[in-house]
Structure 1
Amino acid sequence: MKDLDYNKISVTTVSGRYITYDHISEFLSSLPGRFVIKIEGESVRKESIKSITFGDGPKKILMWSQMHGNESTTTKAVVDLLSYFNQESTDVLKLVKECTIKIIPILNPDGARDYTRVNANKIDLNRDAQNLSQPESRILKKVYDKFEPHFCFNLHDQRTIFNVGETIKPATVSFLAPAFDHERNNSPSRKMSMKLIAAMNSKLQKEIPGQIGRYDDGFNDNCVGDAFQMKNTPTILFEAGHYENDYERDITRKFIFKAILKGIKTIANDRIDEFTVDQYLSIPENGKQFVDIIVENIDYKSNHLTKSKIIPIQFKELLILGKVKFKPELHIFEKEPKEFFGHKTLNCNDANDMLWLKENDLLKLLS
């Protein structure tokens, strides 16, 4: 079967790291009536939180993005997904006959506007699943209870620090079948999550071999994925990560889109049991061995000896005049690994690299 032409369905008017409802409203307004757009409630600052529902099949899938406001890659991916479903191809007609899909593209619009992880009350919504102290948390719970999904897709971004296993490959996409108890046992719903991830991994390995990781499965019932898994709803955590030179994450969005679509097709075609728990467990766990930049060949004097050291640099993301800027800063590891890698390497023996370091006020950090 011929693969789809992603370039024909990608919504290029929605791009970059800073995504709010302002950026997607024109596209959402262009969707035809078979996409039912509903205001589900309001954020702390009274901004509308919307859902888009389409399809009329018996298998119900709920997905939400930007629970953390500064994690926008998956929002771009679900916009591309809506574009795909706006076609009238044979594949689309079959999928909407089998599935009903509900998407909340931006659950935390206040955090999205501020480009922060938390909401306007400085609360991490992904630690509010039990207390339900925030309006955004209550909206998601209300939608979940009313929609009664058979599957949940919990869509996030992860930092550039993650690599796959102990390899030098970045974790461009990571998955998790959340635990439902402290012992991390496998319930029927969790096993189904694992099998569905194995299906999506089989697709992505053809696109970005070796760049798919498995997220840590430590249990926390305040996390939404764990909470929904506790309710026996197969739930999958998606983490959009780094692809080479793709700090705007307009390449990674394609792989998230393809993973989501593979998941939907696997559900629609009743093919989940063609995949196994062991295939899921074979996905390497994420390491934390990357930094954005390694600076090499720095000479400094200590005890009258000249030594060479390597300096790790990490970008801090700052929202400036509606654009996300990447400010390089000295990186301090929580626990320094035996070996670490850089997405980019600068050499102090290279004049151009030294100019870049000077322009970014980094020379003082290297002394």
Structure 2
Amino acid sequence: MNFNTITEKHKEQNLFGRYITNKHIEPILEKLNSDFAVSVIGKSVKEKPIYAVKFGTGKIKIYMWSQMHGNESTTTKALFDLFHFLSSKDKTATELKKTFTLLCIPILNPDGAEAYTRVNANDIDLNRDSVNLSQPESKVLRSVFDEFKPDFCFNLHDQRSIFAAGNTDNPATVSFLAPSYNEARSVNEVRQRAINIIAAMNLVLQDFIPNQVGRFDDSFNINCIGDMFQSLGVPTILFEAGHFKNDYERETTRKMIFISYLSALFSMSKNDILVNKTIDYFNIPQNNPVFYDFIYKNVKVILDGFEKSITFAAHYNEILLDDAIVFKATIRQIEGLEGYFGHYTYDFQGQLFENQKDKMPEMDSEASFIIGMHNKIVNGLLKK
């Protein structure tokens, strides 16, 4: 199977960037062909529709939901790429239709998606609400789970750009987790099936993003929906879409998530997931939060007549402005950066900050400044 050809041919061109809301997906949902059943399965706090898309007639039932956190949209884009592929006349797509029944919620948290926030309109993290079920969106997710009775669950998220794949300077472009079902983090038959699917996806992804796949922390928290569903006896997989070099819109990562969906389905359809892959799974390096978006090394400062060299770092803040996401770089750490990496790293080799004495980078200030005579940093980046 040529994953490159499929992903290039079936990218949903009407979705791009980080800001994805109901108004972006509704025109696409309306145009899905008769292979797809689109329905409104509930309403958000602000009475926005929560859509579900059902596809296929097969015996293996997979439940997929995205944008439980409203500002995590990469997996949603990849879902619509998957829909585009499944709506085609491709022979493999036809076989998948016969093998699987997919029930997908593209945007579980439409209020959070519109506001570009992690939480819903009541400031509740839906991924900490699996026990209380205090929110309408949480109740919808659980009621569909109870009614659909899936064989597998795919819990679809984005993760911050801070993560490396293990003790390396490789970003964790995609991370997975087979959540724990108990405090002991035991591996039973249910979790084993999730582990085997992840191992199969990782094997494929290594051809595209070698050493850039991570494993999320498996500490048990029954308030998290993945842990809950795993404990209820349904193999559940957490997908985390992360950073790829120079890809802050996460279009390359989107492709990797799409490939992950496809490789999971292919492996499951061929029963490749029956072999115990526990060792392969735990050999995937664990996520390590050691990245900043920008690191500025060996910058000279002169304070009270004393000269020293410092290293400091900045992160992008994602700000919703005029229905688009603007990235604003802000200084987040000064010194104490041993063992950390930057997605952009600049070494100024002893040049003076702001080319002035008694000037120092300030925490939480905008990352726009001058170093030496000619090095102008604008919104984090060195202007050439």
Q: TM-score range by the shorter chain?
A: over 0.9
Paired residues of 2:192 and 2:276 also in contact (CA < 8 A): no
* Worse-matched range after superposition: 229-238 or 291-300: 291-300
Residue 132 (structure 1) aligns with: 133
For the residues of structure 2 that align with 1:199 and 1:337, how far apart are their CA atoms? 36
Using a 3 Å threshold, how does the CA distance of structure 1 residues 362 and 201 change in structure 2: closer, same or farther? closer
Paired residues of 1:63 and 1:155 also in contact (CA < 8 A): yes
Q: Which amino acid aligns with 1:232?
A: G
For the residues of structure 2 that align with 1:336 and 1:93, how far apart are their CA atoms? 55
For the residues of structure 2 that align with 1:230 and 1:156, how far apart are their CA atoms? 20
For the residues of structure 2 that align with 1:356 and 1:130, how far apart are their CA atoms? 53
Using a 3 Å threshold, how does the CA distance of structure 1 residues 360 and 91 change in structure 2: closer, same or farther? closer
Using a 3 Å threshold, how does the CA distance of structure 1 residues 33 and 128 change in structure 2: closer, same or farther? same
Tell me, yes or no, if structure 1 residue 244 matches structure 2 residue 265.
Answer: no
Residue 225 (structure 1) aligns with: 226
* Worse-matched range after superposition: 206-215 or 7-16: 7-16
Paired residues of 1:346 and 1:353 also in contact (CA < 8 A): no
Residue 156 (structure 2) aligns with: 155
> C-alpha displacement at 1:302, in angstroms?
4.8
| Deviation readout 1:47-91 (Å, 9 max, x if unpaired) | 000100010000000000000000000000001000010111211
Paired residues of 1:164 and 1:212 also in contact (CA < 8 A): yes
After TM superposition, the structure 1 = structure 2 runs for residues 193-342 of structure 1, keeping only pairs within 5 Å, are 193-274=194-275, 276-302=277-303, 304-332=305-333, 338-342=338-342
> C-alpha displacement at 1:29, in angstroms?
1.1
Q: Return the structure number with greater helix share.
A: 1
For the residues of structure 2 that align with 1:345 and 1:79, how far apart are their CA atoms? 35
Using a 3 Å threshold, how does the CA distance of structure 1 residues 144 and 357 change in structure 2: closer, same or farther? farther
> C-alpha displacement at 1:300, in angstroms?
1.1
| Deviation readout 1:77-112 (Å, 9 max, x if unpaired) | 001000010111211111111110011000000000
Tell me, yes or no, if structure 1 residue 55 matches structure 2 residue 56.
Answer: yes
Residue 145 (structure 2) aligns with: 144
For the residues of structure 2 that align with 1:356 and 1:25, how far apart are their CA atoms? 46
| Deviation readout 1:247-266 (Å, 9 max, x if unpaired) | 00011000001001111111
Q: Return the structure number with greater strand share.
A: 2
Aligned length: 362
Q: Which amino acid aligns with 2:194?
A: S
For the residues of structure 2 that align with 1:264 and 1:2, how far apart are their CA atoms? 14
Residue 343 (structure 2) aligns with: 343
For the residues of structure 2 that align with 1:94 and 1:361, how far apart are their CA atoms? 48
Paired residues of 1:300 and 1:308 also in contact (CA < 8 A): yes
Q: Which amino acid aligns with 2:221?
A: N
After TM superposition, the structure 1 = structure 2 runs for residues 45-194 of structure 1, keeping only pairs within 5 Å, are 45-194=46-195
| Deviation readout 1:279-314 (Å, 9 max, x if unpaired) | 101000011110000112311125743211111101
Give me the identity figure in percent.
45
TM-score, length basis structure 1 = 0.94
Residue 358 (structure 2) aligns with: none
Q: Any gaps of 5 or more consecutive residues in structure 2?
A: 355-367
For the residues of structure 2 that align with 1:153 and 1:327, how far apart are their CA atoms? 32
Q: Which amino acid aligns with 2:346?
A: L
Paired residues of 1:11 and 1:79 also in contact (CA < 8 A): yes
Q: Which amino acid aligns with 1:345?
A: T
Q: Which amino acid aligns with 2:35?
A: R
